[in-house]
A and B are shown apart, each in its own frame.
Chain A
């Protein structure tokens, strides 16, 4: 009897931990709506926010032969409400919904362009305070209406949100998540988000009908949670490279009249450093990598070491040029998207204390950035001929 009592006391000790905070309360898994994606737009009324949630409909998802209805509709639902803040809009959605939200599986938040330009503070604040959201939620920007992105036809996946997550996970473009944004913001620096494109495309899988399609068109630069500018694809790639977030990009270079070759970069690396020159920081961004030639127009030139050198040189030039353009754009709007400020903070903390408060301005006017590239060709894809016959 006494030992039973001790057991009971032991378990009761934990009762304050069980509590009724949101993630501890008991809810059956089939009574929850797992929000996989959030789409946030500027509302139609001035100062309002339009929030759309996307949740899967488990009874329409194909998983074995479970009892119950098998709808033919889309396996996900989207609900939209408009209110003065994100929280209020979510509250409105919850009121109409039969199931309880759970944000623990929210991996993607897409914001509309106009909302992004007006500033993400509201959204960021909610994402930080809501206990169930993840810090590795990806953020992306849609041109125009964020909901339009979600209309894409998920050919390979079951839900549009999965498509967007895959886009981020494949590291084709900078996959900025909430943690990155909060880091950058805490240091008064900028960040870059993937800038999507939404449009119509004929689909072979859907009988050549025109279907909504979503892709990546570049990056959007943010400073103080406000969108400042966008950057096209090529320059955006180098920004992703500079923050070490890109995997296996492909570059095509041309030289002379008809020299043309494509290089598939197997490994990419970047290093950033800072040194002080006459009281001002001078940054060096070095992009290095190695790749294989996967295509060369084979007209007059043989595969000689000289050609390899030409390709290497052209490639280095092109990457350096892209990066310079990208950095120039970021300096123009004062958005330190590769977080060079951190380097100052780590290496020259005293100097950082002085410039931290108006870093965007300082970055815009006083900072000098050097670009170095070291890209090598590892395989030529064919036998090198030192002596052309």
Chain B
């Protein structure tokens, strides 16, 4: 027999939900006893509430001739409703559960409230990946709903070793975050390290996954991304199988992957969906353009102003002829063009769609022929800037592309003031920095520095998967045989 007459629970909950006018208080009568169903209509599954909770309760209470107490006992045992529920007598807890999508049923004569988890947020359908498109291979992408995302991931990996550890982050947002990994494949150290970091995060709210990554970032101040973002379930699944750890957050399609290396950021999931010849070739092209996007403008400026002797004579004539009558120095010219390009790029992403076309037309005129015709910039510079601009988009991970674009400017200034030596000094500085970086104890340049030759099969090129018998050691584990020969 439960203690009766704690009716002030309803009052206390009401007090906490004061001025929340989207809360519904639905009065019911069960077995002669007054009760109130409290929920927020917009975030609960209304059909479920009506069909699976309210109507069975009413029907059963009308049909049954048993005593009220045994009725409640049956309810508590779970004999009566198919919807799982929990009980709580804390007004704070009940109010919090209501705003996170539960329906609370407070029976007049009972001290505990029934909480039914029937949350249903608005969400969009699973759609194609917008930012990481592939030609072959799976097209679906994560959406904002964490349960859908977990479903997409579980669809790819059906194994009991796929572990999903749940956290709640944000004092106000109470965002659900999952750490996903495959037990036995990833370094155990990473899991405990991440666990510690995720548990200790204390912020008001987390909306983009980058908030998390900044909270977890290791001490180094670096322009290079130390997390990989992806919205592709197949990328996450493949990374988990390599022994990496994923962090999925409710409310964003981006998933974090750690640890990262520079080379993992230069790989696209499409590499694995094409034949190894073409994907190896595409990878090499990608590396070439990554270097171009970092160094081309500074090399051009340094060579034309300091070392014209290394330009082939015929090319020299062409460049000189187009530089003739240009009022700026090559360095200024390059800076103007690069800044214009960056401005156009930023405008292009922020601009409302209906006016987008206008800007792209104006931009093309500014950065292109008009500037040349006006004698402000030279033709070769336009070509250099355009190639560099395109090159920075060839990098499959947007964050790394941003890094390269940012680093281009200091290198350009060094190249324009100190010549080729400045460019090389800058390149060495960048190299030294990258070599010293570590992402969760994995060296950033692995497998190049430190040298792990066995992993070169999947670094600059990709050998057929038949030949990749071992899992990469970068994210090492003891269990590193990937493929066993079956004879």
Contact = CB atoms under 8 A, between A and B. Distances in A.
B7 to A, nearest CB: 64
Interface in A61-107: 61-68, 102, 104-105, 107
Contact of B323 (A17, A26, A30, A34): A30
B421 A18 contact: yes
B375 A58 contact: no
B309 A17 contact: no
Contacts of A18: 418-419, 421-422
Interface string A1-40: 0010001001100100110000111111110101010000
Contacts of B308: 29, 32, 34, 102, 104-105
Contacts of B375: 66-68
Q: Which among A7, A24, A25, A66 has the greatest number of chain B C-beta atoms within 10 A?
A: A66
B321 A59 contact: yes
Nearest to B307: A23
Interface string B214-231: 000000010000000000
A66 B309 contact: no
A29 B379 CA distance: 14
Interface string B345-366: 0000000000000000000000
B429 A66 contact: no
Contacts of B325: 30, 59, 66-68
B247 interface: no
Contacts of A61: 317, 320-321
Contact of A36 (B313, B322, B374): B313
A59 B324 contact: yes
A56 interface: yes
Contacts of A65: 373
B304 to A, nearest CB: 5
Given A18-B418, A18-B419, A26-B419, A58 B425 contact: no
Contacts of A105: 308-309, 313, 316
Contacts of B426: 11
A271 interface: no
Contacts of B321: 58-59, 61-64, 66
Interface residues of B, number: 37
B317 A58 contact: yes
Q: Is the interface of B mostly helix, strand, loop or mixed?
A: helix
Contacts of B309: 23, 102, 104-105, 132
A282 B322 CA distance: 58
B383 to A, nearest CB: 11
B318 interface: yes
A58 B378 CA distance: 13
Given A10-B425, A11-B425, A104-B308, A34 B316 contact: yes
A65 B373 CA distance: 7
B323 A64 contact: no
A14 B307 contact: no
B419 A24 contact: yes
Contact of A29 (B221, B323, B372, B417): B323
Contacts of A27: 305
B414 interface: yes
Contacts of A26: 305-306, 417, 419
B329 interface: yes
Contacts of B317: 56, 58, 61, 63, 158
A76 to B, nearest CB: 10
B157 to A, nearest CB: 41
B330 interface: yes
B231 to A, nearest CB: 34
A25 B307 CA distance: 9
Contacts of A7: 429
Given A67-B373, A67-B375, A11 B414 contact: yes
B365 to A, nearest CB: 16
A30 B375 CA distance: 13
A59 B329 CA distance: 17
A251 to B, nearest CB: 33
Nearest to A32: B308
B126 interface: no
Interface in B404-440: 414, 417-419, 421-422, 425-426, 428-429
B155 to A, nearest CB: 45
A104 B428 CA distance: 28
A231 to B, nearest CB: 30
Nearest to A36: B313
Contacts of A56: 317, 320
Nearest to B416: A26
Nearest to B432: A10
Q: Which among B221, B304, B374 has the greatest number of chain A C-beta atoms within 10 A?
A: B304
Contacts of A58: 317, 320-321, 323-324
B319 interface: yes
A61 B313 CA distance: 14
A17 B421 contact: yes
A100 to B, nearest CB: 11
A67 B418 CA distance: 29
Contact of A64 (B322, B326, B421): B322
Interface in B286-310: 304-309
Given A34-B316, A58-B324, A66-B324, A29 B422 contact: no
A208 to B, nearest CB: 30
Contacts of B374: 67
A28 B419 contact: no
A7 B413 CA distance: 14
Nearest to B329: A28
Nearest to A67: B375
Contacts of B326: 30
Contacts of B414: 11
A107 B426 CA distance: 33
A64 B221 CA distance: 46
A11 B323 contact: no
B418 A29 contact: no
A29 B421 contact: no
Contacts of A158: 317
A2 to B, nearest CB: 11
Nearest to A165: B313
A357 B47 CA distance: 112
B300 to A, nearest CB: 10
Interface string B275-292: 000000000000000000
Contacts of B421: 14, 17-18
A11 B417 CA distance: 12
Interface string A142-164: 00000000000000001000000
Given A11-B426, A67-B373, A105-B313, 20 more contacts: A7-B429, A11-B425, A11-B429, A18-B421, A26-B306, A26-B417, A29-B330, A30-B324, A30-B326, A32-B320, A34-B308, A36-B313, A56-B317, A59-B324, A59-B325, A63-B322, A64-B322, A65-B373, A66-B324, A132-B309
27 contacts: A11-B422, A14-B425, A18-B419, A24-B419, A28-B330, A29-B316, A29-B319, A29-B320, A29-B330, A30-B325, A32-B320, A34-B320, A56-B317, A56-B320, A58-B317, A58-B323, A61-B317, A63-B318, A63-B321, A63-B322, A65-B373, A66-B321, A66-B324, A67-B373, A102-B308, A105-B313, A105-B316
The 10 A-B residue pairs with the shortest CB-CB distance in the complex, in nearest-first order? A104-B309, A67-B375, A63-B321, A68-B325, A58-B321, A58-B320, A30-B323, A61-B321, A58-B324, A29-B304
